[in-house]
Amino acid sequence: MGLFEKLGLSILNRSEPAIEPVPTPEDPQAVLAPVTGRLVALGDVSDPAFSQGMLGTGVGIKPEGNVAFSPVTGTVVAEVKSAHALLIKAQSGAEVLLHVGLDSVALHGAGFRQLVRKGDEVRAGVPVLRFDRDLMAERGLDDTVVVTVTNPEAFERVEPACAGDEVVAGAVVLRTA
């Protein structure tokens, strides 16, 4: 075990190559997949705060990679000290929560690196967060990435907009109307 592992630090703290944005549709009512992976119905997410809809309407995704991309164009309005979640207010008015991992707050920021900060303007599809799936697995944590609209009452409806079991980052997963 190396020094970084002994201290609970991740290789994410080292110099990293630039990450290119993913292609996205121009659709202000769309909420996009922040990662590529296997879709999980929100009701099947193992955290009751998500599965019972307490944090809004959305989907879970079992990620294949270690980068999360912005699900909407808007402004980062909140970030957490442990760097595993962001809240982005979309141009449509949707307040979109991007949350990486379940119980990942227990890592106290180890294995996470925010690429944006509160107040930043972001475009859909740009990289906003790096995360270490291997570290989550080592600590016995679920790496499911959840994206929700936390203010569904502001819309006539918020509904799933994807079919199948797999999704690619930048694909539409939710639509507001």
108 is catalytic: no
Q: What are the helix (H) ranges across 1-128? A: 3-6, 48-51
The amino acid at 77: V
**How large is the C-alpha radius of gyration of the chain?**
15
In degrees, rounded to 5, the angle at the alpha carbon of residue 130 between the alpha carbons of residues 125 and 133 is 120
Number of helices (H), then strands (E), in the chain: 3, 14
Residue for token pair 């808007």: 74
3-state SS class at 39? strand
Return d(Cα 53, Cα 40) in angstroms, integer. 14
Identify the active-site residue in 40, 79, 99, 135.
99
Q: For 30, what's the count of Cα atoms within 13 Å in the CB-facing half-sphere?
A: 18
CB atoms within 10 A of CB 113: 16
Active site residues: 99
